[in-house]
Structure 1
Amino acid sequence: MVIKPKVRGFICTNAHPHGCAQSVSNQIDYVKSQDWPQEGPKNVLVIGCSTGYGLASRITSAFGYGANTLGVCFEKQPSERKTGTAGWYNTASFHQAARANGLYAETLNGDAFSDEIKASTIEKIKDKLGKVDLVIYSLASPRRTDPDSGETFKSTLKPVGKAYTTKTYDTDKDLIHDVSLEPATQEEIDHTVKVMGGEDWERWMVQLGEAGVLSDDCKTTAYTYIGKELTWPIYGQATIGLAKEDLDRAAQAIMSKLSDKSVQANVSSLKALVTQASSAIPVMPLYISLIYKVMKDEGTHEGCIEQIVGLFSQCLYGNQPIYDDNNRYRMDGKETNDATQAKIKVLWDKVTQDNFHELSDYKGYNTEFLNLFGFELKGVDYEADVSPLASWD
């Protein structure tokens, strides 16, 4: 079939297998082009491994340090008539490349929040790896079922304390407009923390530790976005921000509960990028379009793979980590510094429907959005008749 993107709102409902393969190949090539020290992870577990920062972490582990990787994700496989998800194709391409380089690569497909997947992961580690020395937690989901109570919680993207009105950009209608959001109830806050907070990360690490599959001095990190003034009302100081703050609590709990293994747990704050998750958050498409304009003009723009390479080489396994007061790794400084934010604020105040495409880099934003699903990548023939089928084996 000839596969063209089918975009509905902030999601693309199909994916291109050859385009996803090209995206993975591009990231591998970037990682291989870097200078890597000998010291690094040997066996890595990536929870949320199939797209975005999680996929970049898996690629960096494998092709930067030669690590064996076990991944966990929840993706839909293709059929003869329908494409699979982008994450399915990304994983298939990663498996092929890793194994061609003599590296172990296997992925469990299922609900990472469930204890069943945790148990299966533990058995796989025991069977294939023995122990892991790095655990990456990079899940993004709108809902989570608590393994203890069986209750399903759903996250909410709302401000906390008071209503909030701001500019946003409707990608479907190509329209700058105001959006007003009512404050979250306490129940909505609590539910968002249950889904997007640190409870599941902590649960993973405790169960891995109790099963004896963590190496001494194992490292673990969970990814977050903090942002600055323009995004705080809907992100940092909103329901999602409170959930992300719970990651800080979880990091301390993990180190306390696994002190006998000297586990090092840190939250990593990364820059704003086009991801499937960020596209759904009010304000973010407009904000990201503007920061892309500013940071590309400054020569400081980075994508997922550049950010993660920096995190590994500088913070996780480097000698120049950047910490904040909460012991988080900070890789977002090129975005959140005062000078760059001042430039973005000027554009934010100026932007209107008439000048949006002039002041922003929406073209870059939209291209990266389509790239997530394997579209608009150089070197891919999108007029070709291709099979949607792809295997992880």
Structure 2
Amino acid sequence: MNSDQVSAEVSPLQLKSILEGGHSGVVLVDVRENVEFEDWSIEGSVNIPLSKIDFVQRVRDCAAGRNVLTICTQGTRSMFAIKTLREEGIEASSLSGGLVGWGKVYTRTAVPLRDSETTLLQIRRMSKGCASYIIASGGECVVVDPSSKIDEYLSIAKNDNCEITHVVDTHKHADHISGARTLSKETGAALHLNVLDSYRFTDFEQLQDGGRISIGNKGVAITAMHTPGHTKGSTSLQVSDEAVLVGDTMFLDGIGRPDLHEAQTEYAIRLYETCCRMALCLNPGIKILPAHFAPGAQLLSPLALTAPLSEIAQKNGFGSRSQEKFLKLLLHHTPAKPPNYQTILKINSGEALLDLTDADLLEEGPNRCLIQPSLF
């Protein structure tokens, strides 16, 4: 940002460019209260609450001559902050839409595969840390775990001259609105869900253990594996012998939480059994591709965020911890539940209708679907 022409607001896409450029001339100041910042923030931002009596001086000291970009949840407090700062001669702009607006920005990168005729894209959503995937071959593609902002997937498919023929949700999501059913209706693609996750609608094909989805002239096979624990119907998708899309079963820095439904002890046992079985039966070097990333993950990285199964198994103690110890640690270290998760589950089940004007507010907040081993 030029200090002589600092606009009142910076769009989320402009912020993406600033961060990709290293933001050396800009300091990101989150003006929310400390407890809000600790719960959910943009990597690299500093927290200086607007409510503090020495707010202006602290920002001046922190900025050290750099332009200031203020951040809050939806852009209201940050706009008030720049008015205060500008009155004191400090060049400042506000992030339009705040963290909620930042959650509408996506970045994408290719996951390397040996099969040159198959492409696998990882699509990461800023702020929420969610990940979707597109598997493409021979002019057809499968979209896995799409968010409600389906234009992102339609645009990618159009630019790649690829027809969306299948849409999959690996599980019934609790922290964000699924776009799977909407995308299926928009494109005419087959929708695949596991019936064990109890949906109130029936216009989908059952995603069963061992089932296959084929795309392209070569019939590239994507194999379903029932991996219960995070939810009863959680299903992973294996792409040849190179990668597994695991949904929220496990993560690069943690494992899925089992307590967003009833019978959490039963779900925790299933999760333990699932993780141990995967560590035992799959190739240790197979790439794990989760549906979420932990806070602090390098979401703007030009490289795919993935890790071999052996590394994740070692971090989380699959096989090295007894079931009793695993359950004790798992059930006593669950983080706060996602805001509005019960409403989101009802919407994703088809039990409640979604008012699009409420979607952003329902999804507000960080990813809370994983338990990190550091808590163990």
Q: Do both share a fold (TM > 0.5)?
A: no
**Higher RCO structure, 1 or 2 (CA under 8 Å, sep 6+):** 1
Higher helix share: 1
TM-score normalized with structure 2 length: 0.30
TM-score normalized with structure 1 length: 0.29
Higher strand share: 2
Q: Quick check: which has more Rg, 1 or 2? A: 2
